[in-house]
Structure 1
Amino acid sequence: MLEALIFVGVPHSLLLIATIVYNKPISKPNKFLIGWFVVCIYHLTFYRLGLDGKCIGNVWQSLGAAMPIFHMVIIYLYVNALHKTVAKNKLLYSGAICLGYWMILIILNFLDIIKVDVIAILPGSNSNILALVVAPSFLLVFLIFVLLIVRDVKELGLHLQSIYSDRKKISTRWLTYWVASFLVISIVIIVGILLSDLGIWPLRSAVKLVCFLLSMQIFFIGIVGIGNGYLLNNTPESIRYQKSGLTKDGFDSLKVRLNQYLTETKPYLNSELKVQDVAIDLNVPSYQISQVVNEGFNKTFFDLINEYRVDEFKRNLNDQSLDHLSLLGIAFESGFNSKSSFYKIFKSHTGLAPSEYKKRIKKS
């Protein structure tokens, strides 16, 4: 039973790949996600064979050792694809890093300079300075990609703010947890090797723990992906202001229309309002709406819509027909959909908690 739980990531990965393929068309980010699931399948299979003591040959054994680099490169490309076009040269460089590292491991393993174990790269019988460089270079490349991913996750958060008005939709915590889990796995591997050398913890146990954590990663991505729609839908288009086709007069005209639309129609009362909804109502491309919001109002879509919601809340406080509602009830009437997001957004716009603001206006 325990063994099955450890390697449940393999059938789960196959199921998630089938889910993505079934829900066509397959977006660019999801193509990279399929690649990551394939890497996970091989990685877990590699560990399974290693635990069983089966030899799979130098080429495939070296590929198994290079898997952590493959993981980080594919996640890096996936995060990139969520909010912008992935340039061909970026694909080529990323592919070259993965294949290059794999080839280096094959050659050094073949020359017996290193020995590729199940989760460790050990010195071989012909060990020299190269054997001492391989592991640190591996960690360096791994950490570089972690930093690149963290940078791109921050950029993605800003991009989502230009599209959604709902705080839940702009959260990128799940990506942060995803990357952090790889750091945890890396620490488990390093500690496992050290404790194994000291005879304190069997290396086999460390491998099983790594497999379990990787399987839990796959489960987590599946839950988050389906729950947030990442596995089922294409992600929002990238914004290209330079090609938006808006002239100065067109820009000014759309800004006036947007301001009038928000004031008179009050679409912000829809707690899940997104830029595509506004674009449909105004019959213009969504990237033009984003351009006007970002450059004309000097705000993100998230900030602009929630500014209107805060103003609506202030007006509703003075509406005697709503006196029977609590502060949270009035917030829901104003377009907010959760207590935490309302309190945080209101205080960021006014500098006061809602209850403090209410006391002040009553005194005045």
Structure 2
Amino acid sequence: MILPLSTFPDFNFYSTPLLVLVVQGVLLSGLLFAKFSKGKNISHFILASILLLVCYQQICYTVGFMGWYNVYKTTKINYWLMPIALALGPLIYFYVKSITQSNFKFKRRDILHFALAICLVLFRVFIYIYDSLQPGFNDKQNGVLKIALDENIVQPVLVFLDFSVMLLYLAFTFQLFYNYRTKIKEYFSNTYKLELNWVLSFLIVFTSLFLYSSIQTVINVAFIELSYTQQWWLNLFMAIITIYIGVRGYFTDTGKLNNLSFSFTPNEIKTVQKETNQNISEDEVQLISEFMKTEKPYLNSELNLSDLASELEMHRNELSQIINKGFQKNFNDFINEFRVNAFKKELENGAHKQLSLLGIAMDCGFNSKATFNRVFKKITNTSPTEFLQNLPK
């Protein structure tokens, strides 16, 4: 399935967009490597590696669309066209882990996650060396082991192996993300929505790419063999995703999430609840309600579960249990409801005549406009501006 081209490089409808996007992807990868060298944030290094890996696969396809195979008919590039899912899946997992785990460090045993990818590279090196020693190797595109062993046996197996590895690591990564988001809501009063949205977007785009690729593979294997140009759309989609991931990843400050420190896990709370199996008394609920109204700890935008427990002279697990069972809310929703009520009271008292809505929200404990608008809408089913307009004159 080779395009009928006779010159290289041929800048055409298929090759030019890929070439432009791939070059940008490589540049973004370089910028991320440079950012890592300055700040030593391992997440930048991993994301740069992801971009470089995707660009590597795109370069192979791009030169094909530019006429490489037609001009260099004995090219040995097929030995180095390797499926990237075996390495991409683990890299996606470690990227999210490096953001969501405080002081993350890549350990020696973590290299086992890339064992299949390493084995594939070593296998290709071995068959290349073997084939290069056979007579007539320079006169043909693929040698004896490349055809008999790699294309006839290994590559069909890799189709299913790539799918399984990518599906497994995406599942692990989504679980890692949702557990982390739950921890933030149980521990912090502001949820770092912008940074969490970036991680979720990152996972969604790669999941979309995985689904697109899987559907194309099924069609190609089970129904009809797709032409080189029909497969071009997947490569374009992949190249566009590379640029999106590179730009968003470069400008999003994931260090905020990485620096968050948790002194418990949600499972720890559940375990304590099962062990104590105690009912929440009305006195405990009333005590916390009165403390929140009189001391107003929610005005501190950095308030977390441990801080509030310390002020109340309680254990954080005990406080979390009371909030979850007594108020039927997680810590984040519990605190933000007090902030919203404080904001509404400020408006009723005419504070908007001297301050902006955002300024009032900040005084009430919110840490960003996006968080404030989202939380206010969730609790009141209206926007802050609409609420102000509906106030009695």
TM-score scaled to structure 2, two decimals?
Answer: 0.60
Per-residue deviation, 1:76: 1.0
- 3-state secondary structure, aligned to 2:263: coil
Q: What is the one-letter code of the residue matched to 1:74?
A: L
Distance 2:185 2:376 in 1: 18
2:334 equivalent to 1:304: yes
Tell me what 1:223 maps to.
251
Tell me what 2:52 maps to.
41
Per-residue deviation, 1:128: 4.8
Distance 1:152 1:233 in 2: 14
Contact kept, 8 Å, 2:188 with 2:302, in 1: the verdict is yes
Distance 1:76 1:262 in 2: 40
Cα deviation digits, residues 179-231 of structure 1 (max 9, x gap): 2222333425863994994447265675455334323321222233xxxx215
Distance 2:340 2:156 in 1: 59
Aligned counterpart for 1:151 among listed residues 158, 163, 175: 175
Distance 2:302 2:256 in 1: 20
Tell me what 2:216 maps to.
191
Q: CA RMSD in A?
A: 5.1
Alignment of 1:18-97 (within 5 A): 18-23=34-39, 26=40, 30-49=41-60, 51-52=62-63, 53=68, 55=76, 58=79, 61=80, 65-84=82-101, 91-97=110-116
- 3-state secondary structure, aligned to 2:115: helix
Tell me what 2:374 maps to.
341
Tell me what 1:119 maps to.
none
Q: Using a 3 Å threshold, how does the CA distance of structure 1 residues 315 and 198 change in structure 2: closer, same or farther?
A: closer
Per-residue deviation, 1:145: 1.1
Alignment of 1:180-329 (within 5 A): 180-186=204-210, 187=212, 191=216, 194=220, 197-199=225-227, 201=229, 206-207=234-235, 209-224=237-252, 229-230=253-254, 234-240=258-264, 263-269=293-299, 272-275=301-304, 278=307, 291=317, 293-295=319-321, 297-298=323-324, 300-313=330-343, 315-316=345-346, 320=349
Contact kept, 8 Å, 2:33 with 2:45, in 1: the verdict is yes
Q: What is the one-letter code of the residue matched to 1:153?
A: F
Q: What is the one-letter code of the residue matched to 2:45?
A: I
Distance 1:131 1:57 in 2: 12
Unaligned runs of 5+ in 1: 113-122, 243-254
Tell me what 1:178 maps to.
202
Cα deviation digits, residues 265-311 of structure 1 (max 9, x gap): 534335x43439958x97x9xxx986565345346442232132244
Q: Using a 3 Å threshold, how does the CA distance of structure 1 residues 36 and 191 change in structure 2: closer, same or farther?
A: same
Alignment of 1:106-121 (within 5 A): none
Identity %: 17
Distance 2:62 2:352 in 1: 67
Tell me what 1:249 maps to.
none
Per-residue deviation, 1:151: 1.3
Q: What is the one-letter code of the residue matched to 1:169?
A: K
Q: What is the one-letter code of the residue matched to 1:15?
A: L
Distance 2:117 2:27 in 1: 25
Q: Using a 3 Å threshold, how does the CA distance of structure 1 residues 84 and 342 change in structure 2: closer, same or farther?
A: closer
Per-residue deviation, 1:144: 1.2
Q: Using a 3 Å threshold, how does the CA distance of structure 1 residues 38 and 260 change in structure 2: closer, same or farther?
A: same
2:31 equivalent to 1:12: no
Distance 1:208 1:353 in 2: 39
- 3-state secondary structure, aligned to 1:165: coil
Distance 2:52 2:349 in 1: 61
